[in-house]
Every structure is written in C-alpha cells, then in structure tokens.
Amino acid sequence: MEKTQIEVRAAGVTPAVLALIGPAFAHDDTLGGDVGAALAGCDLYTVHQGEHAVCAFALRSEQAPAGREVVVVGAGGKAAGFSLTEIVLPHIEETSGAEFVRIHTARPGMVKRLRAQGYEAVEVVMRKRVNHGR
C-alpha cells in the first residue's frame, strides 16, 4: 500500500481553518460556539495533499512529571481516502518530540481506532449541568 504524502504547515485561526477543525468541537456546549476560545494557547496546523488543505489540527504542549505531553485539542477535515488517525497521528507522534500524545474524544468509534493504534484510556471525564442559567 502506498503511503499518503502530506505536508503539514503552521496555521493561524482563519475561517478556512475553523471550517476544517470546528466540527471537532460540536459536542462541547461550554464554548458557546466560540471555537477560537478552545484554540487559545494552541499551535495550529493544516495538512495538505497537494495545494489543498484537507484537515487542521490543534496541539497544546504540557510538561508532566514523566515527560512532555502533546495534547491533540482538536482535529478535523475530510478528503477521500484520508484518515486522520492513520495519517496525521503518526505524523504528530514522530515529529512532536514529546514523550506522550494525549487525545480527548467523545466519539466511541474514535476510541476503538485509537486503541488499535496503541492508545489506552487513562481517565474518564463526566459532566452534569447543575446550574440551569441561574
């Protein structure tokens, strides 16, 4: 199988980047629709096949006692035959220089794909709305 050729470029918060990455935050009702707030303090990147940006991802670096950890804050995009987990994650793992890569997801199917790539669940986060606009 031929390896998909990609080019990763540093990016800023632009309408094109938000269109690619925005759906990754659709489940988070704490943002009030402000995806830019979720991206504050992140490094943004676009992934290109040829001249076309096919996805975007946001990374945040954290120093943990066991070493530096890169957090995939969000990633999104679509292109025929293009898999974020199979193409972009290996790129992040190989180039980040971090000891760990951490990903938060609310999608059960993504958990299954991540486990197949060697990721393991290290916590479960639960939330309940208790202040109904008071």
User: For the chain, what percent of residues have pLDDT higher than 70?
Assistant: 96
Count of domains in the chain? 1
Which residues span the domain enclosing 71?
Answer: 7-116
pLDDT at 4: 67
Which residue matches tokens 């990721």? Answer: 119
As a whole number of angstroms, the distance between CA 7 and CA 131 comes to: 45
**Quick one: pLDDT band at residue 1, thresholds 50, 70, 90?**
very low
pLDDT at 16: 92
**Quick one: pLDDT band at residue 113, thresholds 50, 70, 90?**
very high
Question: CATH number of the domain that 16 lies in?
Answer: 3.40.630.30
**Quick one: pLDDT band at residue 89, thresholds 50, 70, 90?**
very high
In a domain, 123, yes or no: no
As a whole number of angstroms, the distance between CA 70 and CA 61 comes to: 5
In a domain, 127, yes or no: no
Instruction: Tell me which of 32-36, 92-96, 114-118 is least confident.
Output: 32-36
In a domain, 129, yes or no: no
pLDDT at 105: 85
- Overall pTM surpassing 0.95 (yes/no): no
* Other beta carbons less than 10 A from residue 74's beta carbon: 24
